[in-house]
Amino acid sequence: ESSPIEDAAEAVARREEDFIYNGSPSFGVEGLLTARGRNEVTMGDWSKVEQSINDVLKAVETLDKAGFYGPYALALPPRDYNNLFKRYEGTDMLQHDHLRRLCKLGIYKAPIETAVLVDARVGKLVVGQDAMAGYSSNDGIHYHLFISESIVPLLIEHKAICTLSATPAAA
């Protein structure tokens, strides 16, 4: 049975993703959504077809003004990502396809509450030890295994990040 192994691997992947977006305040590590000095714009209602492109263009213009001209990647909360699969009225073009021309590094559905657009120069993910599984012990019936990994998001250019929030950020 591989279910416990799959569950453990999925838990590691979820934690890794959370770490990239939210960092770890207790370790003093910032994530894409928590980096001090990042750019922020307010987004409108993405259930309206034209709003997504307008908001992403606003974020692109913000990054342009900060000196980051792309290529870009866009990570979206599930609700906003799913809204991109609507067609523009009177056309066969999906909003997702339109935005993909602007976000050359991809558009991703992520377990986040706030959208984020990043320039390729934002930084990197430093891997100290890639994910590995190991044997810990057994109790005569069960084998106890573990999965470990060491990573840290190294955000070099905080101004290469632009979050798109549904409400204005608190001052």
Task: Tell which residue, 166, 165, 160, has the closest CA to residue 60.
Answer: 160
pLDDT digits (tens, 9 = 90+) for 116-148: 999 999 999 898 888 888 888 999 998 888 888
Looking at the structure, give the CATH architecture of the domain made up of residues 3-162.
Answer: 2-Layer Sandwich (3.30)
Contact between 55 and 46 (Cβ < 8 Å): yes
Q: What pTM did the predictor assign?
A: 0.85
pLDDT digits (tens, 9 = 90+) for 89-105: 888 888 899 999 999 99
Average pLDDT score over the chain: 90
DSSP helix/strand/coil, 48:
coil
Distances (CA, A) of 162 to 81, 86, 122, 132, 144: 17, 24, 10, 33, 43
Task: Tell which residue, 132, 154, 166, 138, has the closest CA to residue 5.
Answer: 132
